[in-house]
Amino acid sequence: MEELVLQAQKLCKDFPPEVKGGEPAHALIDLDLTVRKGEMVALIGPDGAGKTTFFRLVEKLLNPTSGQILLFDKDLKDQSDEIKDKIAYMPQKFGLYEDLTIIENLNLFADLKGIPKNERKAVYDELLQMTALAPFINRPAGKLSGGMKQKLGIACSLVSKPELLILDEPTAGVDPLSRKELWDVLSKVAKVRNTSVLISTGYMDEAARCDRIYILNEGKVLSTGTLSELTSPYQNQVFYLPCAEKDTRKLLEKVADSPDVIDAIPRGNGVKAVFKKELSKQDIKE
């Protein structure tokens, strides 16, 4: 049986009412989730789904209302600092020091984690090669592109060789090429270091690169599985509609207004549409 790194069981988190007389906010409701050794797991869902709340519970920045979190088969409440050091968390706004260079930022995080100086070169060489930042080690972080800053943030998170890396939407606001590069780095982390990666994202194409996906909404897990397991039941409800007149906006408006369509998005020179019921290609043509 594969080693469980993280396990959440019937996890609930309520926040007090924001307005006097209002109802408590249920951020997480009976959430069950597991992460195995060397596995990449994605949490996907809209803003307010509970992704960041869950990460903060794992980091002990918040306490659960009920339920349990197990880390390395031990209750999170009983975790020692030694066990806690096996986790690295990269929030949406990661704290790089923009006046410091890449190498100085790495040194700072190594100091904070107590990494002996005679062990750092090998770790740095591996991380700089993995992130393709080696040619820029003397460049201030403030002069890096958004994608390079995120890669530096990942490198800083990994200096202590954690067994579980948690990232909260690291590609938000990053250009498509940098998004791909970031995911290439994360794939290497999982494969080369056998590090477990738990990541939240708003993009299904990113989540598809993970071993398993959890779909969250309003604090609940709607579904979980591999990409094929999640999408196969709907394969006859999703169709690409090419735009013969090259007027994608006009086609999008027409398709989105159809009572038979759940959702529609532009894709290339056409529209990708999700229908309420199973259809054949002949039905679409008609």
- Specify whether the CB–CB gap between 163 and 193 falls below 8 A: no
**CA atoms in the 13 A half-sphere facing the CB of 216:** 30
| pLDDT score at 153 | 93
pLDDT band per the 50, 70, 90 thresholds, residue 284: low
- The reported pTM is 0.83
User: What's the confidence (pLDDT) of residue 285?
Assistant: 58
Domain boundary among 194, 210, 231: 231
pLDDT band with cut points at 50, 70 and 90 for residue 20: very low
Are residues 102 and 135 both part of a single domain?
yes
Q: Are residues 74 and 205 in the same domain?
A: yes
Answer whether 238's CB lies under 8 Å from 282's CB. Answer: no
C-alpha 114/C-alpha 136 separation (Å) is 24
Whether residues 242 and 224 fall in one domain: no
Q: What are the structure tokens assigned to 174, written together?
A: 């990053």
Let me know whether 254 and 145 are in one domain. Answer: no
Same domain, yes or no: 264 and 192: no
Quick one: 256 and 171 in the same domain?
Answer: no
Q: 257 is in which domain, residue-wise?
A: 236-285
Could you give phi then psi for residue 122, rounded to 5 degrees?
-65, -40
Query: How many Cα atoms sit within 13 Å of 1 on the Cβ side?
Result: 4
Neighbouring-strand partners of residue 272: 240, 265
> Are residues 169 and 216 located together in one domain of the fold?
yes
Strand partners, 36: 4
Q: What confidence tier does 281 reach under pLDDT thresholds 50, 70, 90?
A: low
By the 8 A CB rule, do 90 and 201 touch?
Answer: no
Domain identity same for 46 and 176:
yes
Average pLDDT on 227-240 reads 84
- Quote the tokens at residue 273: 């549409």
My answer on whether 224 and 249 are in the same domain is no
Query: Among residues 197, 212, 231, which one ends one of the domains?
Result: 231
- Domains in the chain: how many in total? 2
CA–CA separation, 180 vs 104, rounded Å?
A: 26
CATH number for position 147: 3.40.50.300
pLDDT per residue as tens digits for the range 101-140: 999 999 999 998 899 999 999 999 999 999 999 999 999 9
- Do 139 and 262 lie in a common domain? no
Q: Mean pLDDT over all residues of the chain?
A: 88
Q: 131 and 249 share a domain? A: no
Same domain, 175 and 204: yes
Among candidate residues 212, 231, 250, the one where a domain is terminated: 231
